[in-house]
C-alpha cells in the first residue's frame, strides 16, 4: 500500500478533485496512478487516511459525493479501511457528517453497518452521538443494530427503550440519565418522559458535554447549522434584518 504526504502533488490533486466533485479529474488520476485508490494520505500529525475518508470528511456534502465514492470503490478502494490509530471507517466519517449520499454508496459497496471502534462506537452511534439525525435513521433503515439504550432513546424508539428498561438486570442510574439526555438531544419527548418516570435526573450533565437536557433540546443539528452559515455567507438575511 502506497503512503504519500499531504503536500505531495498527487495528494493535493486528488484531494482537490474529491472536494470539488471533479469526477473526470479523479478518474484520470486513478488511471494514471493505479495504486491511488488504495493510497493513504499522511497528515501533518503523522496520521493516515484514505481517499474514501477524504470524500466523507467533515463537513461532508462535497459536490458529486456519491459519484466520487463510486469512482473510488470501482477502482478497489478499501471500503472498510480505518484511519491509522483509530477505528473509524469511511462510513463512520459519513455518519459523523450526516452525509447520506456518500453513506448510500458506501453501504451499497459493502461497508459494515455495525463496524465497531469509531470515535464513539458504530457508525450509528457516531451519528447519534454527533446529532446527525438523517443519517442515523438511514442506517437504522438499512439494518444497523440498535443495541444501546441511549441510541434508542435519542431516536425516539419507545418500544425498544421499553425493552431495555424491562431487562434483567435493569439499566443503571447512569445509563438511564445518559439515555434521558440523549432523548432530549434527539428531541424525543416520548422517550424522555419514559426515562424520567424511571428516575432520570432532569438536570443531568454527561461527561462529554456541558449542556443540560434543556440546553441540548434547544440546539439545532449540524446540517442545519451548516446551511445557516452557508446562507449567511451568500448574503441571506433574516426577516428582522430585512425590516431594519
What's the pTM? 0.88
Comparing 6-15, 37-46, 104-113, 190-199, the range with the smallest average pLDDT is: 37-46
Q: What CATH number did the domain enclosing 19 receive?
A: 1.25.40.20
Q: Are residue 95 and residue 172 in the same domain, yes or no?
A: no
Tens digit of each residue's pLDDT (9 = 90 or more) over 118-161: 999 999 999 999 999 999 999 999 999 999 999 999 999 999 99
At residue 84 the predicted structure's pLDDT band, cuts being 50, 70 and 90, is low
Q: Are residue 5 and residue 118 in the same domain, yes or no?
A: yes
Q: Are residue 105 and residue 199 in the same domain, yes or no?
A: no
Q: Are residue 113 and residue 167 in the same domain, yes or no?
A: no
Q: Categorise residue 149: left if φ over 0, alpha if ψ from -120 to 50, beta otherwise.
A: alpha
Whether 47 is in a domain gets the answer: yes
Owning domain of residue 157: 146-244
Tens digit of each residue's pLDDT (9 = 90 or more) over 24-41: 999 999 999 999 999 999
Amino acid at each position: 500500500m502506497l503512503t504519500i504526504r499531504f503536500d505531495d502533488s498527487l495528494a493535493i490533486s486528488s484531494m482537490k478533485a474529491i472536494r470539488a466533485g471533479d469526477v473526470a479529474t479523479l478518474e484520470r488520476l486513478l488511471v494514471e496512478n493505479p495504486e491511488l485508490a488504495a493510497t493513504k494520505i499522511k497528515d501533518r500529525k503523522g496520521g493516515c487516511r484514505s481517499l474514501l475518508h477524504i470524500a466523507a470528511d467533515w463537513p461532508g456534502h462535497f459536490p458529486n459525493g456519491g459519484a466520487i465514492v463510486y469512482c473510488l470503490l470501482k477502482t478497489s478502494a478499501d471500503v472498510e479501511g480505518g484511519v491509522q490509530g483509530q477505528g473509524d471507517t469511511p462510513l463512520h466519517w459519513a455518519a459523523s457528517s450526516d452525509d447520506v449520499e456518500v453513506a448510500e454508496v458506501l453501504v451499497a459497496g459493502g461497508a459494515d453497518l455495525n463496524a465497531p471502534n469509531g470515535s464513539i462506537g458504530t457508525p450509528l452511534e457516531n451519528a447519534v452521538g454527533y446529532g446527525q439525525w438523517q443519517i442515523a435513521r438511514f442506517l437504522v433503515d438499512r439494518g444497523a443494530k440498535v443495541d444501546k439504550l441511549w441510541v434508542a432513546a435519542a431516536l425516539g424508539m419507545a418500544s425498544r427503550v421499553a425493552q431495555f428498561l424491562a431487562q434483567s438486570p435493569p439499566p443503571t442510574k447512569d445509563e438511564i440519565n445518559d439515555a434521558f439526555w440523549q432523548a432530549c438531544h434527539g428531541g424525543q419527548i416520548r422517550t424522555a418522559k419514559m426515562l424520567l418516570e424511571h428516575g432520570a435526573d432532569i438536570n443531568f450533565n454527561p461527561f462529554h458535554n456541558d449542556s443540560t437536557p434543556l440546553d441540548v433540546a434547544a440546539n439545532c443539528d449540524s446540517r442545519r447549522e451548516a446551511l445557516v452559515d452557508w446562507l449567511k455567507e451568500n448574503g441571506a438575511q433574516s426577516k428582522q434584518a430585512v425590516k431594519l
